[in-house]
Structure 1
Amino acid sequence: MKRHLIKIFGIVTAMIINYTAYSQSNFSSNLIGSGVVVSDLDRSLDFYINGIGMVKAYNFTINEEFSKRSGLSNGVAVEVSVLKLENSPNANEWKLMSFGNKQTESKPDYIQDGTGVQYITINVKALNPVIKRLKEQGVKLLGSTPTPLNENLHFVLVQDPDGIFIELIGPLE
């Protein structure tokens, strides 16, 4: 009986610690939205929607006044297209916008060739359909990918039209 009570006490203590850690978070959401400025919005939307398989969740416009007042730009309006892996409130947002600027730097050859956000990781249910769509778009698979991670999972590396590396991880089928 004493061993049983000690086990229950341990479980309750762990639950209290986990609840306390969660309730002390400074964040009102566990999601992160990432904004990416692209050189060609249509080309990037095609890559992410028709190649990777993301869904377009919604659009919104940042007007000139808010853009300047918020410090996002010097008063340039921009349309933002929000993509998700699935159209649900619990999915992270990949926000694409373009100011019509040409890409100022060449695409990096490797992740270590730059600083800042260089890559994202997307876990998929099956890699082969994604690989097929990407190849149909003329997207090059980088390295010797797909490369096995273990007996079930494989790793594929590609780049979006502006050079952001996309790691795709999942089973082949």
Structure 2
Amino acid sequence: MNHSLLKICVIVAALMISVNTYSQSNFSSNLIGSGVVVSDLDRSLDFYVDGIGMVKAYNFTINEEFSKRSGLSNGVAVEVSVLKLENSPNANEWKLMSFGNKQTKPKPDYIQDGTGVQYITINVKALNPVIKRLKEKGVKLLGSTPTPLNENLHFVLIQDPDGIFIELIGPLE
């Protein structure tokens, strides 16, 4: 009986530490939204929605007044298309926007060719359907991919139209 009581006390203590640690977080959400300025919004939406398989969750506009007041774009309005891996409140947001500018730097050949956000990782249930859609869009697989990571998972590397590397990880089927 004492052994069971000790187990219960350890479990309760662990739960209290866990709850206390969580409550000390300064964040009101465990999600991160990433904003990406692209050279061609339609082309990027085609890549991410029809190629990768993301879903368009919603759009919003940053108007001139807010863009200037907030310091985002010095008074230039922009439409933002929000994509997610699934349309769920618990999914991270990939926010695409375009100011109609041409790409200002050449596409990197490798992730070490630049600074800042160079790549994202997307885990998929099956790589082959995604690879098929991407190949139909003329997207080149980089390196010797797909390459096995272990007995079940494979790794595929591609680039979006503006050069961000996309790691796709999952089983082939």
Normalising by structure 2, we get a TM-score of 0.98
- Identify the residue that residue 138 of structure 2 maps to in structure 1: 138
Which residue of 1 is the match for residue 150 of structure 2? 150
Amino acid of the residue matched to residue 118 of structure 1?
Q
Task: Please state how far the C-alpha of 1:2 moved relative to its aligned partner.
Answer: 2.0
Matches of 1:113 and 1:12, distance apart in 2: 50
CA distance in 2, matches of 1:16, 1:144: 48
Where does 1:34-73 land on structure 2 (aligned, <5 Å)? 34-73=34-73
Matched residue SS, 1:17: helix
The runs of at least 4 consecutive aligned structure 1 residues that moved more than 4 Å come to none
Structure 2, unpaired ranges of 5+: none
Equivalence map 1:65-104=2 (5 Å): 65-104=65-104
1:22-72 CA-partner distances (Å, limit 9, x unpaired): 111111111110000000000000000000000001110000000000000
Q: Deviations for 1:146-173, whole angstroms, at most 9, x for unmatched residues? A: 1111101111010000000000000000
Which residue matches 1:112?
A: 112
Within 1, Cα distance between the matches of 2:129 and 2:138? 14
Partner residue of 2:9?
9
When normalised by structure 1's length, the TM-score is 0.98
Identity of aligned residues (%): 89
How many equivalent pairs are there?
A: 173
**Unaligned ranges ≥5, structure 1:** none
* CA apart distance, 1:4: 1.8
Distance 1:7 1:112 in 2: 50
Distance 1:129 1:115 in 2: 31
Distance in 2 (alpha carbons) for counterparts of 1:11 and 1:158: 45
**In 1, distance between residues paired with 2:48 and 2:129?**
14
